């Protein structure tokens, strides 16, 4: 029995290695720099419209079926039109795995907020994962969702401010009775820190985090996993409230004592494309393990 386990482990490691090699750091760099070129891009701005077109064009180029989920959000600044972007890769089964990020940036009036890490890093990662998975035969249907309106207009996310896109999206899925089709919901956010430390969000699925951690170890970079858990309110929260198995892959300690978060220091100088690359590798491994269940 031990012999067969070792053979399976070696095969799984080899398969993971082959899958991960498809991730291209140069593509990630291209996506990230293009996203940053549209900064700032808060919800409702002209710049987010330009970024939205770029994302849609890239998804279509990779053969995904793209849909726009438009809605009006009631914010502290009044009613603002927002648009979630949905890219679909059909698989063999009826099960769906969601891969998500927000693509809006925080609104600041006193300085130009670039948001290279928040939300540039995760948006770039999602585009790269879509590119790679579009070239493979997949068991699950992969749904890529780029949420608008994650950022609050006030200082912090509250029950009435922030997570506009994900709340709206979950409500629509619930009305359609489509939540039960979701095998897993994987959210990426702030994954570009040069000193990457992904903490386990205690609200998230323990099972999914264990798979992600195992994949990081198999890939040879266990150091990106922080031993310190955290609690995060993010775009996965509305899904968790509806009983969906969800996880937030996030490093919520950006710069010394989180000093780069939501400041002018969130720029390309402080973001590592290699960190994004490692997360993408672990996500591909994670998806293949989910498909093997």
Give me the pLDDT at residue 21, please. Answer: 55
Domain count, the chain: 1
What range does the domain containing 150 cover?
Answer: 2-292
Q: pLDDT digit string (tens) for 215-241?
A: 999 999 999 999 999 999 999 999 999
Token pair for residue 142? 């992969």
Give me the pLDDT at residue 19, please. Answer: 47
Q: pLDDT digit string (tens) for 37-85?
A: 999 999 999 999 999 999 999 999 999 999 999 999 999 999 999 999 9
Give me the pLDDT at residue 293, please. Answer: 80
CATH number at residue 70: 3.40.630.10
What's the pTM? 0.93
Q: State which residues of the chain have pLDDT below 70.
A: 1-21
Q: Do 250 and 232 contact (CB within 8 A), yes or no?
A: yes
Sequence-distant (6+) residues with CB within 8 A of 158 are 152
CA atoms within a 13 Å half-sphere pointing along the CA-CB vector of 166: 32
Give me the pLDDT at residue 7, please. Answer: 47
Give me the pLDDT at residue 94, please. Answer: 87
Sequence-distant (6+) residues with CB within 8 A of 3 are none
**DSSP per residue, 123-180:** HHHHHHHHHHHTTS--SSEEEEEEES--S-SSSS--SSSS-HHHHHHHHHHHHHT-GG
């Amino acid at each position: 029995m031990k012999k067969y386990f070792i053979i399976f482990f070696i095969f799984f490691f080899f398969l993971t290695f082959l899958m991960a090699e498809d991730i291209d750091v140069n593509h990630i760099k291209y996506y990230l720099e293009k996203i940053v070129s549209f900064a700032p891009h808060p919800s409702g701005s002209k710049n987010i419209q330009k970024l939205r077109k770029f994302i849609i064009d890239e998804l279509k180029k990779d053969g995904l079926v793209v849909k726009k989920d438009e809605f009006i959000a009631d914010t502290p600044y009044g009613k603002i039109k927002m648009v979630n972007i949905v890219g679909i890769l059909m698989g063999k089964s009826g099960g769906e795995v969601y891969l998500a990020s927000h693509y809006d940036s925080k609104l600041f009036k006193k300085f130009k907020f670039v948001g290279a890490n928040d939300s540039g890093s995760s948006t770039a990662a999602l585009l790269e994962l879509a590119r790679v998975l579009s070239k493979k035969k997949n068991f699950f249907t992969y749904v890529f969702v780029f949420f608008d309106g994650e950022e609050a207009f006030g200082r912090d996310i509250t029950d009435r401010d922030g997570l506009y896109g994900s709340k709206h999206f979950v409500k629509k899925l619930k009305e359609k009775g489509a939540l039960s089709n979701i095998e897993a919901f994987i959210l990426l956010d702030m994954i570009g820190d040069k000193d990457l430390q992904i903490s386990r969000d205690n609200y998230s699925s323990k099972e999914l985090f264990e798979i992600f951690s195992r994949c990081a170890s198999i890939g040879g970079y266990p150091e990106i996993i922080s031993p310190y858990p955290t609690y995060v309110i993010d775009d996965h929260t509305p899904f968790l409230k509806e009983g969906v198995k969800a996880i937030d892959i996030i490093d919520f300690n950006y710069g010394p004592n989180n000093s780069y978060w939501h400041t002018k220091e969130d720029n390309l100088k402080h973001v590592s494309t290699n960190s994004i690359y490692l997360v993408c590798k672990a996500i591909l491994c994670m998806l293949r393990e989910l498909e093997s269940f």
